């Protein structure tokens, strides 16, 4: 038989109480820390994907709806949580007898059914009106096909003569639209489901293989609006970004005209001319540059469908008119030039953007690194020894094993694709 | 040494051998008669050998005799089924694979049943008990197996009738048979006293009628247009007509209902003999449709004309590797009637260019819609 020292027992009990209090304190501190972080995140000044900062009528419509629904939901949430907390504390088990159990209180039941029904009706009216307004397509002024694939977005502008688009324009990374114009995106996908979302301009819409989903965009002012794929689509989902560039109508017409300009080969004997040959040998299997011809004058048609799982690789015609590359995760312009464009006043923005990427502004570091070893820059299924599941086709750009000399030539050539 | 039974077969084998040799010398050494006589030699020798080694099935000892008498063999038709299976398998080898497979099924089914029955008969000297053992082992499969065979025969015979009757006649027959089944079902459900003999009589008469009509239909062949379909290789996957109508029936089989309107890129119309198009989301006619490269794209075709039309996508030309000849590439919908529609799915891996021109056309209608692939 063992004897227990009362002093020791008391001490142990005190230790236990202290431990419990300490762990509670730590838990409360953790909760407070997370809450403060979340709360303070709302104060971020550089938040280009802010959901509560609409820059066009469609996003404004959603924002207006949020302004109605969130307070209502918040008030209901607080009331329910407060009541639940009160009941939890007031009627917690303290060893008391179970109170009398009553069934059937018609007044309470009807009240608790009617009130939520009324709240939902009010919310529903506004929500449905918003949904139908967002689905409106009758007054579309510009159509753009948007095609998602792992892990970049392709934009092609069908022929629309009234907007000066007399031959299709194809681009990637940046979607260029005119301000104050009702633009209709026709979204689809070449491989898996993606989702297109530019928070400042509208809600998100899935891009589904075999289907065409419509999404209306409209920007109030010139500028760049950032977005991101919001449907998990594989390894580099987080690196599948997009930017919408809004230009004044005049600037958009200039952009359209520039995109339709014929290909101008680099002057013979230059480094860029050597780069063109390197491009033809190393890159044109997948990447199309419209107008590029081989030594016999025959147009070079890329065959991404033979090499890439999705069947497509970015068309690099007029590459240097864009500010981004590789699924918009890298800038083609350096930080200084980027800041100059992003922070430009509305009236100056178009001119600065349309300058494109000059030699001085080129973000050569990232571009060279990408050409040197693309899979090291962005996770992709580009290991040639592991392509069995995709029938020998890449998902992403492989390491081409280019020499520094090749890279010099290619950079010089790509700079000519204005 | 020789048992009485084996002597007969040894004699038969010897006689066959002499006959075969004489036949080969005097008549023909390599015709069917010689093969038949040698077959007789082999089979006679085989049976003689069995008979010799099993001593005509006589018991060797008293104990063997007691054990043998304890078996209670019942009458069995499974050996007959097994033999039928062999015959059908052999027939299948020289006629059609389906017959061969059918023979295998009969062979396996008969063999399993025969084996199980033989096994059950060794259980005791009581025939009824042995029957119970057999039923417990395999009885659960008897009715489903039999039902499958009967249903298969009914389905086959009924299909022959439906394929022989005219289209409208087949519909009438189907309605009458369905109505008869429904009425009889009601009658039997409401009047239980009708069951028994009345059911047996109805089923017997029905099966006989079905058998007679089915066999007669099978002998007379399918109705004329089905025969023409087969002759024109209508069911051949390569069958495709994208120009002016040639086939008599092919295109009239089109379904003309579309359920994927939300997934079409553009709609091509034919109206007053002219082709026009609209892209989704743009409520005006266009003369060019831009289609994403290397992506399956649906184009809706709607015929507003009185005449039947089809939509054709022309995808330039390509050299056929086998022949080295440049041939047109493209595909088309089936014929589409007035106010009906079909979808054409295209996937174009290469961009359009001056050398590679793509378009949508409708044979018999004016105009074309240019297809641009960036």
Measured at the CA of A248, the angle between CA A336 and CA A188, to 5 degrees, comes to: 90
Look up residue B74 and give its DSSP letter.
P
Compute the average pLDDT of residues A107-135.
91
| Percent of chain B residues past pLDDT 90, beyond the cut | 22
Task: Please tell me whether residue B248 adopts helix, strand or coil conformation.
Answer: coil
Distance CA B303, CA B309 (A): 7
pLDDT in tens, B38-84: 878 888 888 788 777 777 666 666 666 666 666 667 788 888 998 99
pLDDT at A1: 44
Q: Which of B263, B292, B351 sits opposite A211 (nearest CB)?
A: B263
Look up residue B193 and give its DSSP letter.
G
Between A54-63, A327-336, A409-418, B63-72, the lowest mean confidence (pLDDT) is in B63-72
Distance CA A379, CA A237 (A): 9
Three-state DSSP string of chain A: CCCCCHHHHHHHHHHHHHHHHHHHHHHHHHHHHHHHHHHHHCCCCCCCCCCCCCCCHHHHHHHHHHHHHHHHHHHHHHHHHHHHHHHHHHCCCCCCCCCCCCCCCHHHHHHHHHHHHHHHHHHHHHHHHHHHHHCCCCCCCEEEEEEEECCEEEEEECCEHHHCECCCEEEECEEEEECCCCEEEEEEECCCCEEECCCCCCCCEEECECCCEEEEECCCCCEEEEEECCCCCCCCHHHCEEEEEEECHHHHHHHHHHHCCCCCCCCCCCHHHHHHHHHHHHCCCCCCCCCCECCCCCECCCCHHHHECCCCCCCCCCHHHCCEECCCCEECECHHHHHHHHCCCHHHHHHHHHCCCCCCCECHHHHHHHHHCHHHHCCCECCHHHCHHHCCCEECCCCCCCCHHHHHHHHHHHCCCC
| A156 contacts chain B (CB < 8 A) | yes
Compute the average pLDDT of residues B94-99.
82
pLDDT at B261: 64
Give yes or no for a contact between A410 and A278, defined as CB atoms under 8 angstroms apart: yes
* Between B255 and B46, the higher pLDDT residue: B46
Distance from CA of B243 to the nearest CA of A (A): 28
Tokens describing residue B244: 């002016």
| B282 contacts chain A (CB < 8 A) | yes
Residue B151 backbone phi and psi in degrees, to 5:
-60, -40
Tokens describing residue A258: 């520039």
Residue A411: pLDDT band (50, 70, 90) is very high
Look up residue B314 and give its DSSP letter.
E
| Percent of chain A residues past pLDDT 70, beyond the cut | 95
Cβ within 8 Å of residue A293, ≥6 positions away: A265, A299, A300
Residue A228 zone, left/alpha/beta (φ > 0; ψ -120 to 50; rest): beta
Contacts A305 to B, Cβ<8 Å: 294, 349-350
B266: nearest Cα among B232, B290, B240, B236: B290
pLDDT in tens, A274-303: 999 999 999 999 999 999 999 888 899 999
* Between B192 and B150, the higher pLDDT residue: B150
**Mutation site, B263, B267, B290, B300, interface A, largest A CB count within 10 A:** B290
Task: Please tell me whether residue B227 adopts helix, strand or coil conformation.
Answer: helix
Q: Which of A138, A140, A156 sits opposite B290 (nearest CB)?
A: A156
Contacts A186 to B, Cβ<8 Å: 265, 280-281
Average model confidence (pLDDT) across chain A: 91
Q: Which residue of A has its CA nearest to B372?
A: A168
Distance CA A74, CA A405 (A): 61
> Distance between the two ends of chain B, CA-based, in angstroms?
94
Between B209-218, B349-358, B363-372, the lowest mean confidence (pLDDT) is in B349-358
pLDDT at A14: 66
Interface of A with B in 247-306 (CB under 8 A): 288, 290, 299, 301, 303-305
Contacts A154 to B, Cβ<8 Å: 292
* Partner-chain contact B279 A299, CB within 8 Å: no
Distance CA A46, CA A62 (A): 21
Whether the predicted pLDDT of A223 surpasses 50: yes
Supply the ipTM of this predicted assembly.
0.75
Question: What's the residue count for chain B?
Answer: 374
Give yes or no for a contact between A187 and B238, defined as CB atoms under 8 angstroms apart: no
Number of Cβ atoms within 10 Å of the Cβ of B15: 14
| A311 contacts chain B (CB < 8 A) | yes
Average model confidence (pLDDT) across chain B: 83
| B283 contacts chain A (CB < 8 A) | yes
Rg (CA), chain B: 35
| Percent of chain B residues past pLDDT 70, beyond the cut | 87
Q: Which of B280, B286, B355 sits opposite A212 (nearest CB)?
A: B280
| A193 contacts chain B (CB < 8 A) | no
| B295 contacts chain A (CB < 8 A) | yes
Q: Which residue(s) pair with B236 in the sheet?
A: none
Distance CA B145, CA B151 (A): 10
* Between B184 and A150, the higher pLDDT residue: A150
pTM as predicted: 0.66
Whether the predicted pLDDT of A306 surpasses 60: yes
Residue A310: pLDDT band (50, 70, 90) is very high
Whether the predicted pLDDT of A405 surpasses 70: yes
Whether the predicted pLDDT of B110 surpasses 70: yes
pLDDT in tens, B197-206: 778 888 889 8
A315: nearest Cα among A187, A149, A85, A188: A149
Compute the average pLDDT of residues B345-373.
89
pLDDT in tens, A179-209: 999 999 999 999 999 999 999 999 999 999 9
Contacts A290 to B, Cβ<8 Å: 351
Compute the average pLDDT of residues A304-319.
93
H-run or E-run covering B121: helix B97-121
Distance CA B347, CA B330 (A): 11
* Partner-chain contact B290 A145, CB within 8 Å: yes
Q: What is the maximal distance between C-alpha atoms in chain A?
A: 104
Distance CA B342, CA B268 (A): 10
| B285 contacts chain A (CB < 8 A) | no
């Amino acid at each position: 038989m063992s004897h227990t020292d009362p002093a020791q027992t008391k001490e142990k009990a005190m230790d236990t109480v202290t431990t419990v209090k300490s762990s509670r304190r730590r838990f409360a501190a953790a909760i407070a820390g997370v809450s403060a972080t979340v709360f303070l995140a709302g104060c971020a000044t550089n938040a280009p994907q802010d959901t509560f900062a609409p820059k066009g009528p469609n996003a404004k419509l959603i924002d207006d709806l949020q302004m109605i629904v969130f307070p209502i939901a918040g008030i209901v949430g607080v009331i329910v949580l407060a009541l639940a907390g009160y009941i939890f504390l007031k009627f917690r088990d303290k060893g008391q007898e179970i109170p009398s159990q009553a069934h059937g209180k018609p007044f309470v039941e009807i009240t608790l059914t009617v009130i939520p029904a009324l709240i939902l009706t009010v919310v529903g009216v506004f929500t449905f009106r918003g949904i139908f307004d967002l689905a409106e397509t009758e007054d579309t002024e510009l159509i753009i096909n948007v095609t998602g694939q792992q892990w970049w977005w392709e934009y092609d502008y069908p022929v629309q003569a009234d907007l000066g688009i007399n031959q299709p324009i194809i681009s990637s990374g940046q979607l260029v639209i005119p301000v104050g114009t009702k633009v209709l995106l026709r979204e689809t996908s070449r491989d898996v489901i993606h989702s297109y979302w530019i928070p400042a301009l509208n809600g998100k819409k899935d891009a589904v293989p075999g289907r065409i989903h419509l999404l209306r965009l409209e920007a109030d002012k010139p500028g760049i609006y950032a977005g991101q794929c919001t449907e998990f689509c594989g390894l580099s989902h987080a690196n599948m970004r997009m930017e919408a560039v809004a230009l004044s109508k005049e600037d958009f017409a200039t952009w359209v005209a520039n995109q339709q300009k014929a290909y101008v080969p680099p002057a013979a004997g230059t480094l860029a001319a050597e780069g063109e040959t390197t491009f033809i040998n190393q890159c044109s299997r997948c990447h199309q540059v419209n107008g590029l011809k081989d030594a016999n004058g025959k147009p070079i048609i890329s065959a991404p469908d033979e090499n890439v799982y999705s069947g497509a690789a970015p068309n690099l015609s007029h590459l240097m008119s864009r500010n981004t590359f590789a699924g918009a995760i890298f800038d083609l312009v350096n930080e200084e030039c980027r800041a100059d464009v992003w922070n430009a006043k509305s009236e100056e923005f178009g001119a600065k953007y349309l300058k494109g990427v000059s030699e001085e502004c080129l973000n050569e570091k990232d571009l060279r690194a990408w050409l040197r070893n693309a899979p090291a820059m962005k996770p992709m299924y580009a290991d040639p020894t592991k392509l069995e599941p995709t029938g020998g086709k890449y998902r992403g750009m492989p390491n081409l094993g280019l020499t520094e000399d090749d890279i010099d030539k290619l950079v010089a050539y790509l700079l000519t694709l204005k | 040494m020789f048992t009485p039974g084996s002597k007969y077969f040894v004699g038969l084998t010897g006689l066959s051998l002499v006959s075969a040799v004489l036949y080969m010398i005097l008549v023909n050494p390599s015709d069917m008669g010689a093969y038949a006589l040698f077959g007789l030699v082999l089979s006679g020798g085989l049976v003689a050998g069995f008979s010799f080694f099993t001593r005509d099935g006589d018991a060797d000892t008293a104990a063997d005799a007691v054990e043998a008498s304890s078996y209670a063999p019942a009458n069995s038709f499974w050996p007959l089924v097994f033999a039928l299976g062999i015959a059908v398998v052999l027939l299948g080898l020289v006629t059609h694979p389906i017959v061969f497979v059918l023979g295998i099924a009969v062979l396996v089914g008969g063999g399993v049943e025969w084996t199980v029955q033989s096994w059950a008969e060794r259980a005791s000297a009581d025939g009824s008990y042995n029957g119970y053992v057999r039923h417990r082992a395999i009885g659960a499969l008897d009715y489903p197996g039999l039902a499958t065979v009967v249903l298969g025969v009914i389905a086959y015979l009924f299909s022959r009738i439906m394929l022989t009757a005219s289209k409208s006649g087949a519909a009438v027959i189907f309605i009458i048979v369905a109505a008869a089944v429904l009425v009889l079902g009601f009658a039997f459900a409401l009047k239980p006293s009708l069951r028994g003999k009345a059911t047996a009589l109805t089923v017997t008469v029905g099966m006989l009628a079905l058998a007679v009509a089915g066999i007669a239909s099978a002998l007379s062949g399918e109705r004329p247009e089905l025969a023409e379909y087969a002759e024109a290789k209508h069911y051949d996957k390569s069958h495709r007509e994208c120009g002016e109508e040639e086939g008599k029936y092919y295109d009239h089989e089109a379904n003309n209902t579309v359920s994927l309107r939300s997934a079409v890129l553009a709609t091509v119309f034919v109206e007053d003999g002219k082709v026009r198009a609209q892209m989704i989301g743009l409520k005006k006619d266009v003369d060019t449709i831009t289609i994403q490269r290397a992506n399956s794209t649906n184009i809706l075709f709607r015929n507003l004309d009185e005449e039947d039309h089809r939509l054709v996508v022309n995808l330039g030309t390509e050299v056929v590797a086998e022949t080295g000849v440049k041939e047109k590439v493209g595909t088309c919908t089936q014929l589409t009637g007035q106010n009906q529609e079909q979808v054409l799915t295209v996937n174009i891996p290469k961009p359009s260019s001056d050398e590679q021109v793509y378009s949508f056309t409708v044979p018999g209608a004016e105009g074309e819609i240019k297809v641009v692939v960036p």
